[in-house]
Every structure is written in C-alpha cells, then in structure tokens.
Amino acid sequence: MNIIIVGGGKFVYFVAKNFQSKGHQVTIINKSLDECTWLSRKLKGIVVHGDGTDPVILKDAKASQMDAILAVTPHDQDNLIICQIAQLNFQISKTLAYVNDPDNEEIFRKLGITAAFSTTHMISNVIEQRTAYDDIVGLSSVAGGKVNVTELIISKDFPVCDKRLDEIQLSDNGLIACIIRDDKQIIPHGTTILKEGDNIILISLPENHGEIIKTLMGDSV
C-alpha cells in the first residue's frame, strides 16, 4: 500500500517505520525543514517539505498514486482539509485524521473522512477501564467506538476459571475470540477450558461491556 503521512514528531517517525516494516511505501509531508532532514536521514521513504493543506504540495508528494492518507498535524482543521483535498482532488479513498476535540470524531465522519481518532478519547477510555479493573490489561475501541476489544487475565477467583467455554453464559454481544496461554495463541472452541493465567481477548459492544466483564470476573469486580 502507498501511504502519505502528514505531520511531525516522533509519532510520525514511529508510525512510518512501522508501516515500512510491514512492506508499505510511505511518503511524509512536514512543514519544518529541520524535521524533514531528520526524517529523511532516519527513514527510507520520500519526505516532502511543505504545507500538507496546500494542493500543490500534495501533488508533489504524488498524492494521486496513493491508497491512503494519514493526517496527524496538531490542528484539527488542517487534518480535515488535508483529507478532503486528498479525497476530492486526488481520489485517495482511505482518509484518516487525528483530532484533538473528541466531538470532531463524529463531525469528521459526517464530512466524509474515513476515520477520525482522538487520543483524548482513547486515553480516557483506557484509564477509566484500567483503574476500574486491575485484571484488564488492555482495552481499545474499534469501528469508531462501536466495538470494544478487551484483553484480560483470568485469575483463579473468577467464576469462569476452570470452566468450559460452552458452560459460560456470555451475553449475545460478547465473544472470547482468542486465548494466549504460555505465549501460544489459541482460537477457542466450546470445549476449551479457561485456565488461571490465560490472557483472553474479548470482543464486546460498549452497551454490554460491563455486564460481560461481570460474568467473567464475578464479584472481584
């Protein structure tokens, strides 16, 4: 996949490096000449110096040959305009924008952006969940907050410990999708038994999330 990333800082560097390691072609657009020099020394991809909200700069970055654009400048308005120019002038179908104001996640989607994400939202979600339940080691929401993916470790005082999955009455909107046991990943069946120390990946909907967690963790919650 060919991806343009507009923005700067360590975040852009690590994201670009990650994409490259997965075999994607990355082009970065950055306003600061110093940062461009630094990025071009550290990364293999093309680095374009300029304002990503300027159609001329997007053209320089060969935007019409790209599959996706990721706009992660510090300003919501710039990220919106970058994505819209990419979409309307250069026919890039996948547009992703970082937003500061969590309210803009929904607004940007209404304005045609594929996905808008706010770290405010993600971090507060994680903190809320982590401080509420110690055994939950990871929580993220996907599909624009419509689905939760929770990672939790089975402890021996959970009611579901040593039970077969088909004996556990989870609500309809919950699924134990994967178990990590002794560093091996298992895609579970009804006959799989949950053991102490299992790291499970749970898919749930936000409205049932609390109820499902309670079923799994019992009164230790």
Note the residues at the interface with another protein (CB under 8 A).
53-56, 75-78, 80-81, 84-85, 88-89, 101, 103-104, 107, 110-111
Report CA dihedral (178, 181, 186, 191) to the nearest 10 degrees: -90
Give me the least distance between CB of 106 and another protein, in Å please. 9
Specify which residues 115 forms β-bridges with.
96
Give me the least distance between CB of 84 and another protein, in Å please. 6
- Decide: residue 167, CB within 10 A, 0-12 exposed, 13-18 middle, 19+ buried: exposed
In whole angstroms, what is the distance from residue 207 CA to residue 209 CA? 6
Give me the least distance between CB of 72 and another protein, in Å please. 15
Q: Which is nearer to another protein, 55 or 159 (CB)?
A: 55
Q: Which is nearer to another protein, 54 or 151 (CB)?
A: 54
In whole angstroms, what is the distance from residue 75 CA to residue 59 CA? 21
Specify which residues 212 forms β-bridges with.
none
Q: Which is nearer to another protein, 116 or 194 (CB)?
A: 116
Place of tokens 């556990």: 168
Give me the least distance between CB of 7 and another protein, in Å please. 14
Q: Which is nearer to another protein, 50 or 218 (CB)?
A: 50
Specify which residues 98 forms β-bridges with.
117
Give me the least distance between CB of 113 and another protein, in Å please. 11
Give me the least distance between CB of 13 and another protein, in Å please. 24
SS3 state of residue 46: strand
Structure tokens at 69: 């654009």
Q: Which is nearer to another protein, 77 or 185 (CB)?
A: 77
Q: Which is nearer to another protein, 22 or 110 (CB)?
A: 110
Q: How far is CA 78 from the centre of its chain?
A: 21
In the Cβ-directed half-sphere of 171, how many Cα atoms lie within 13 Å?
16
